[in-house]
């Protein structure tokens, strides 16, 4: 007698902002939905420490209505990124104090941190819907169903939503050759947002740089941190600076280098942080498969192929890399999650009408009234990186949000 596998309307892979948005929408619509997450926590690239420091996504911007609405709905306090004071430009020839800030339009942060968004979404779901520590190993499909394999067993579903970076999906999930070769090539070439980045956060006894008239902001042509920003709380505490470095820079001596550099820029007090957090996203198994830190074609974000269902209309994409606008931002993740949920609901309606999943109408345009990123940083771009492979910094790619 063959084993009986649980059957669901939808299986969502990934419990980050996109996956939980999709899951919440489908659950609210009455579909039997299960969300599988490989990590032992929700959030994905939204990762906040116990002292409210964001190691992943940090900001949102004006013109990003989905994030703003979600903070209101979940009761999450927001505050404006500290920008007052001068910035530092660091070049091989020396340092220069510069009026203004690399972030030259208002940016907003979350209290108690970005992970509160996904924690709030997850808290609204029944326990049976969300399954942590459950990586998906394989997906098989036929005309009637999709079979999702995990170490804990198999699940059958009418639809699967991949709310993980496309490159991670095709590297880590065995599709048994069912995906079109051009789709596989596209996914393999699509960068993983923050996949080539190390984020460093240092805390101090006080935001001492502010007393010197500095914003805690810097752009560097020398590194290892290519840019630095103030990450202090709304009242200045906890006092913190954070910065981004290319993953290729995170070799021996990196921890020392990322304390000596702020000391050069902001004074000797910066050399003695109370705590130092180093988050290498390129080394995160459930974010970046090997080699993706070298991918730089951000023009593949929001590619039209990601707006179409695969596997005879039963597999849908929903990570921030697939968003048509605000890709890479939390806003893009929410948008992609909404789009995927709409696509599944439309396909289910088409099936009930006897049309089959592939006959579903396309989702409405996901372009918001504001199609820009909400940022204007052209005057702060540094020259392209001189090193090869895995480099990320000013001028190399969009700044992680």
Count of domains observed in the chain: 2
Distance CA 27, CA 358 (A): 22
CATH no. for residue 229?
Answer: 3.90.660.10
Binned at pLDDT 50, 70 and 90, residue 217 comes out as very high
Of 105, 88, 56, 193, nearest to 377 by C-alpha is: 105
- The whole-number pLDDT of residue 83 equals 95
Say whether both 139 and 252 belong to one domain. no
Show Cβ contacts of residue 293 under 8 Å, excluding neighbours closer than 6 positions. Answer: 192, 195, 196, 246, 247, 248, 282, 389, 390, 392
Q: Can you state the angle between helices 65-74 and 115-123, rounded to 10 degrees?
A: 60
Say whether both 207 and 290 belong to one domain. no
Give the position of tokens 């820029």: 265
Say whether both 390 and 380 belong to one domain. yes
The two three-digit tokens of residue 130, written as one number? 């969300």
Q: What's the domain range around 235? A: 83-106+196-282+375-401
Say whether both 246 and 388 belong to one domain. yes
CATH no. for residue 336?
Answer: 3.50.50.60
Say whether both 206 and 90 belong to one domain. yes
3-state DSSP percent of the chain in helix, strand and coil, to 5? 30, 25, 45
Q: List, in sequence order, every residue forming a beta bridge with 33; answer none if it has no partner.
A: 10
Say whether both 332 and 391 belong to one domain. no
- The whole-number pLDDT of residue 65 equals 97
Of 179, 158, 160, 178, nearest to 351 by C-alpha is: 158
Of 128, 107, 108, 110, nearest to 119 by C-alpha is: 110
Distance CA 165, CA 288 (A): 8
Average pLDDT over residues 359-387: 36
Tell me the pTM. 0.89
- The whole-number pLDDT of residue 386 equals 24
Of the two residues 401 and 101, the one the predictor is more confident about is 101
In eight-state DSSP terms, residue 192 is P
Say whether both 140 and 184 belong to one domain. yes
- For 189, phi then psi, to 5°, come to -95, -10
Say whether both 30 and 151 belong to one domain. yes
């Amino acid at each position: 007698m063959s084993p009986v596998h649980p059957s669901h309307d939808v299986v969502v892979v990934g419990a980050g902002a996109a996956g939980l948005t999709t899951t919440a929408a489908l659950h609210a619509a009455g579909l039997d939905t299960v969300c599988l997450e490989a990590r032992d926590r929700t959030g994905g690239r939204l990762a906040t420490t116990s002292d409210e420091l964001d190691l992943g996504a940090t900001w949102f911007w004006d013109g990003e209505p989905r994030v703003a609405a979600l903070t209101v709905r979940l009761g999450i306090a927001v505050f404006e990124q500290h920008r007052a004071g001068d910035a530092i430009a660091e070049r091989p020839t020396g340092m220069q104090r510069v009026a203004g800030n690399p972030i030259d339009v208002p940016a907003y942060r979350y209290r108690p941190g970005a992970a509160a968004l996904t924690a709030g979404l997850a808290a609204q779901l029944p326990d049976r819907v969300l399954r942590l520590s459950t990586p998906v190993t394989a997906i098989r499909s036929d005309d009637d169903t999709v079979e999702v394999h995990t170490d804990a067993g198999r699940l059958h579903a009418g639809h699967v939503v991949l709310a993980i970076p496309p490159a991670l999906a095709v590297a880590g999930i065995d599709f048994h050759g069912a995906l079109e070769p051009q789709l596989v090539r596209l996914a393999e070439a699509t960068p993983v947002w923050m996949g080539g980045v190390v984020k460093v956060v240092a805390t101090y006894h006080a935001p001492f740089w502010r007393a010197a008239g500095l914003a805690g902001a810097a752009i560097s042509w020398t590194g290892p941190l290519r840019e630095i920003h103030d990450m202090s709380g709304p009242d200045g505490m906890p006092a913190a600076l954070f910065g981004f470095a290319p993953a290729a820079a995170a070799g021996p001596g990196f921890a020392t280098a990322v304390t000596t550099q702020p000391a050069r820029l902001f004074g000797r007090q910066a050399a003695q942080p109370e705590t130092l957090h180093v988050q290498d996203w390129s080394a995160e198994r459930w974010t970046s498969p090997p080699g993706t830190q070298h991918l730089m074609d951000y023009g593949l974000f929001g590619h039209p192929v990601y707006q179409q269902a695969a596997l005879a209309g039963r597999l849908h994409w929903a990570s921030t890399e697939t968003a048509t606008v605000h890709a890479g931002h939390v806003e893009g993740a929410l948008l992609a999650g909404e789009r995927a949920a709409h696509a599944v609901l439309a396909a289910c309606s088409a099936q009930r009408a006897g049309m089959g999943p592939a006959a579903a109408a396309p989702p409405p345009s996901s372009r918001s009234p504001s199609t820009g990123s909400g940022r204007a940083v052209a005057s702060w771009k540094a020259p392209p990186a001189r090193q090869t492979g895995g480099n990320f910094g000013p001028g190399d790619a969009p700044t992680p949000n």
